[in-house]
Structure 1
Amino acid sequence: MEFSDDSIKKIINNHGINLLNDETFDNLLSFAVTRICEEATDKTLAEIYGSEPDLVKNAYTGITSLFVEAARHDLGIEKLSESLNSSSLNKEKIEKLCEAFEKNKERFKHKLEIVGGGLPHLVDVTWKLDYCIKSNSTDSVGMPIYHVSLQTTKYGDSKFLKFTCTLQQLQELVHKLKDAVRHMEKLAN
Structure 2
Amino acid sequence: MELSPDLHASLQVCGDASSLADDAFYALSGLVFDVLLEKKTEDDVLDDKRLGGVEKGLLKQSFAAIVTLIVEGAKNDAESDDLTHYLEDCKFSPEKSQKLGKMFHKHKPEIRALLGRSRTLVPRVIDIDWRLDYYMKSKQLERINQPTYIINIKTDLQDAKPVQFACSMEQLQDLVAKLKDAARSLEKSSST
TM-score range, shorter chain: 0.5 to 0.7
Q: How does 1:142-161 map to 2 (within 5 A)?
A: 144-152=147-155, 157-161=159-163
What's the CA shift for 1:29?
A: 1.6
Letter of the structure 2 residue corresponding to residue 83 of structure 1? D
Q: How many residues align?
A: 174
What root-mean-square deviation, in Å, do the aligned CA atoms of Structure 1 and Structure 2 show? 4.9
Are the aligned partners of 1:127 and 1:146 in contact in 2 as well (CA < 8 Å)?
no
Instruction: Tell me which residue corresponds to 1:75.
Output: 76
What's the CA shift for 1:21?
A: 6.2
Instruction: Determine helix, strand or coil for the equivalent of 1:159.
Output: coil
Instruction: Tell me which residue corresponds to 1:64.
Output: 67
Q: C-alpha separation between the residues in 1 aligned to 2:136 and 2:11?
A: 76
What's the CA shift for 1:161?
A: 0.8
Letter of the structure 2 residue corresponding to residue 95 of structure 1? K
Q: Greater strand share, 1 or 2?
A: 1
What's the CA shift for 1:160?
A: 1.3
Residue by residue over 1:70-123, the C-alpha shift from the partner in whole angstroms, topping out at 9 and shown as x without a partner, is 46xx233xx24242243434433311134345445527985x958xxxxx5342
Instruction: Tell me which residue corresponds to 2:29.
Output: 29
Q: C-alpha separation between the residues in 2 aligned to 1:98 and 1:23?
A: 20
Q: How does 1:130-141 map to 2 (within 5 A)?
A: 130=132, 132=134, 134-136=136-138, 137-139=141-143, 141=145
Instruction: Tell me which residue corresponds to 2:12.
Output: 14
Residues 42 and 14 (structure 1), Cα distance of their counterparts in 2 relative to 1, 3 Å cut: closer
- Percent same amino acid at aligned positions? 21
Residue by residue over 1:9-66, the C-alpha shift from the partner in whole angstroms, topping out at 9 and shown as x without a partner, is 9479624438566632331123435666644427447852658999866643431221
Q: How does 1:111-126 map to 2 (within 5 A)?
A: 113=120, 120-126=122-128
Instruction: Tell me which residue corresponds to 1:117.
Output: none
Q: C-alpha separation between the residues in 2 aligned to 1:146 and 1:52?
A: 60
Letter of the structure 1 residue corresponding to residue 167 of structure 2? C
Residue by residue over 1:96-152, the C-alpha shift from the partner in whole angstroms, topping out at 9 and shown as x without a partner, is 134345445527985x958xxxxx5342341334362734454572x6542211234
Residues 14 and 103 (structure 1), Cα distance of their counterparts in 2 relative to 1, 3 Å cut: same
5+ residue gaps in structure 2? 89-93
